[in-house]
Structure 1
Amino acid sequence: MNLTVEQIAEEALALPSEARALLADRLAESLDPLEDGYAHELWVNEALRRRNDVRSGSVQTIPGDEALSRIRRMFP
């Protein structure tokens, strides 16, 4: 059975969130290791920058529930 990428994505999105996370990890691991290393480095730098912004007080955090509520209002 040959499935299209769209069909595979639709099936994957129907999985429970834990299974989707595992699938995302497995797909990410299958990418070119050289590109993955560079992407990982970029994400680490971004995470450190954001952490430092929070610690310095230059950004204000909000609870996760409030953030999700705001996003849901933006994309009804």
Structure 2
Amino acid sequence: MTTQLIEQILQLSISERLELIENIWNSITDIPDAIELTEKQKQELDYRLELYEQNSARGSNWEEVKQRIKNRK
């Protein structure tokens, strides 16, 4: 990335930069196979999946998680 491009990005408003971030993120998630996990990351995901499968009732649904986050403020 060139210095000139970075300077142009920094001249954007906050909302324009957030929109740019969203567009970049969407372009990445459109190609999920392009993101390679390390072996350690794969092992961690396998470990978490195993814990979940052993006791799926231990987890929290999204509404519960959002409420906990809101209560921290």
TM-score (norm. length: structure 1): 0.49
Q: Kindly name which structure, 1 or 2, has the bigger radius of gyration based on alpha carbons.
A: 2
TM-score (norm. length: structure 2): 0.50
